[in-house]
Amino acid sequence: MRDDYTILAVFEYSTEAQVIKSKLDSEDIRTMLMDEKTIDTDPLLSQAIGGVKLLVHNQDLNKASNIYNEVRAYEKDENGNAYQCSKCKSSKILVAPPQRKSFFFMLFPFFESRKLICNDCKTIF
């Protein structure tokens, strides 16, 4: 990876990454995708290689982060209602990265319960 680029987001499929990349490109932000062709060739490899990485030039990172946080999809409950953070009342809720604190969850990650994280105050619940 180039030193002058930083990973802004990781996507399971390249189509998701292309949508965000197009938005950022329209705002004159320098972007590139990593591992896009590999996953397009074999989508089952996405989990193994860590997904499609959206890279943003370091000089554009703050602007890109602000735009991405405005357009990204946030989590909703089973009824389609937005979750709300109990601490700051924000509705910008994402799926938290897995903690995998025990060896059991490292071997069997699908048994770990899903946790959510507030994109504003970073509270995990």
Q: Give the C-alpha separation, 74 to 28, whole Å.
A: 25
State the DSSP H helix or E strand holding residue 56, giving kind and residue range, or none if neither.
Answer: strand 52-57
Q: What total of structural domains would you count in the chain?
A: 2
If asked whether residues 67 and 79 sit together in one domain, one would say no
Q: What is the mean pLDDT of residues 94-121?
A: 73
If asked whether residues 67 and 99 sit together in one domain, one would say no
* pLDDT at position 54 over 80: yes
Phi–psi pair at 35, nearest 5 degrees: 70, 15
pLDDT tens by residue, 62-102: 999 999 888 877 777 778 787 888 888 888 787 776 666 77
Band (10; pLDDT cuts 50, 70, 90): confident
Q: How many CA atoms lie within 13 A of 40 on its CB side?
A: 11
Question: Whole-structure pTM over 0.95, yes or no?
Answer: no
Note the pLDDT of residue 100: 65
If asked whether residues 111 and 58 sit together in one domain, one would say no
* pLDDT at position 7 over 80: yes
Domain that holds residue 100: 74-125
Domain boundary among 50, 71, 92: 71
If asked whether residues 63 and 94 sit together in one domain, one would say no
